[in-house]
Structure 1
């Protein structure tokens, strides 16, 4: 009765990738997509249920994703039967709100409309009716770069037994999350709503970022009752009436002198305000482990995490749910920079800061808080050994 939907439209452009982010390797020869497929296959084997699986791809990610699944995980099924194809919308000229024209590269005139596009895409593609016709009642939706977002039978049972229309997984905000969208209650009707930083006026920014006042943020792990989604969408012309986020950018993101435009987006979690009886559940931080930059990937590839045969990626028990923190200088912004960096042991690390070009030899162990500083442009080798609660100036 359940479908797992992964939002898989994003390219890893911020990390220097020109392919879909889910093709990044977590372990040698094992990409995010492999692990997602393993998770589904394991669920099917363990439960005896034919858990459905869909990927919401963009036109930028579709070919790479389908090609990879065909080659690497043929047992997951026909990739074309696993695809939701995300819509595209025009970028708007800031001054006139007309669709922008960019003759140098017309493709740059268009952009994806945000993760909330999963709802009209399900409806418009016919997948919503198809799933309902097959007896599928529940959807678990999450980002493809969040390997902590695994279908949890306990959460599914809670969602189903409570007959909830919509359930958002939230977790406690920390200072690191203060710019993330937080949960709030709408005064006029008591419904829950999601407020993103782009919707916050400047005078209220300090309050928005107060992690004691607004204690919970959206993990973007969402549970939806598809029957109730169909009812709500049918009552509002086949769409959900969601707040629109206005992102100010340039038509060519690599050219700051190109035309000033707005990209209009909607947040998937903002649909919480569309459903009577929608709820939120406080989940462990382990269910929110996204890879947004190279430091996240570096940690995920380390021995602080273990990868199971079932595709689950978890912190080792000795970490007690607390991942190490890694801060990189600008030399390490792109994924390619990790290939020659080496991989020290982070099993007992609390904090690793690296500034300047270095390479870890095999057999380096980081314990506690370690800072490595290289002010020169020459690459320095970190020799094998244990580095514990120290600053290393090279």
Structure 2
């Protein structure tokens, strides 16, 4: 079970709290407090006007902590119907692929700029990408794929490429038989 906490209105006392518009709360701590006989659910309203908590099942959202998560959720592995994530039934592996992207992909704008379109990852088990790597449109990744561009080398994965169980460390590795 997961809890989302929404705070509306004004903070009643700023003495011990240093919050502005966003409040970060440990969901495990909140859940423990909610089940504790020591704290009543009205404890939050001691600090906030119109505070409320709602329970949201994990099936209603997918956490996005890094751009590697964005790649998962913006690819063909997931679709969203009225905001509810649904995993593709075409994927036979019950686990999501392990995706590790280098620091070049950390910024969301830079991340999106490196993909003409999100690659197909239905059959991907693991992906590791480091360096100045750019993806064309309609790229398919299968099995375990590692792409490592050397410093000062721009690596472009061409439109329509199908990379399956490949280690790519130089541009000619991409140009060779796919």
Q: TM-score range by the shorter chain?
A: 0.5 to 0.7
In structure 1, the residue matched to 2:111 is: 338
In structure 2, the residue matched to 1:114 is: 25
> TM-score, normalized by length of structure 1?
0.33
- The one of 140, 150, 158 equivalent to 1:365 is 140
The verdict on how the C-alpha distance between 1:385 and 1:6 changes in structure 2, with shifts beyond 3 A counting, is same
The verdict on how the C-alpha distance between 1:366 and 1:85 changes in structure 2, with shifts beyond 3 A counting, is farther
Residue 169 of structure 2 corresponds to residue 393 of structure 1: yes
State the distance in 2 between where 1:329 and 1:361 align: 18
Structure with more helix by fraction: 1
Residue 88 of structure 2 corresponds to residue 316 of structure 1: yes
State the distance in 2 between where 1:345 and 1:86 align: 46
Structure 1: stretches of 5+ with no match in the other structure: 8-55, 58-82, 92-109, 129-137, 143-147, 151-286
State the distance in 2 between where 1:315 and 1:85 align: 39
Residue 155 of structure 2 corresponds to residue 380 of structure 1: yes
Shift in Å, 1:114: 2.7
The verdict on how the C-alpha distance between 1:371 and 1:127 changes in structure 2, with shifts beyond 3 A counting, is closer
After superposition, what is the alpha-carbon deviation per residue over 1:298-353, rounded to whole angstroms, capped at 9, x for unaligned? 21111111111x32112111225421111011211221221211121111111111
Residue 85 of structure 1 contacts residue 121 of structure 1 at CA under 8 Å; is this kept in 2? Answer: no
Residue 74 of structure 2 corresponds to residue 298 of structure 1: no
State the distance in 2 between where 1:307 and 1:332 align: 24
The verdict on how the C-alpha distance between 1:121 and 1:336 changes in structure 2, with shifts beyond 3 A counting, is same
Matched positions, count: 148
User: RMSD across aligned C-alpha pairs, in angstroms?
Assistant: 3.2
Q: Specify which structure has the bigger relative contact order, considering alpha-carbon pairs within 8 angstroms and separated by 6 or more residues.
A: 1
In structure 1, the residue matched to 2:49 is: 125
State the distance in 2 between where 1:86 and 1:346 align: 45
State the distance in 1 between where 2:51 and 2:70 align: 33
Shift in Å, 1:378: 3.3
Structure 2: stretches of 5+ with no match in the other structure: 35-40, 171-178
In structure 1, the residue matched to 2:37 is: none
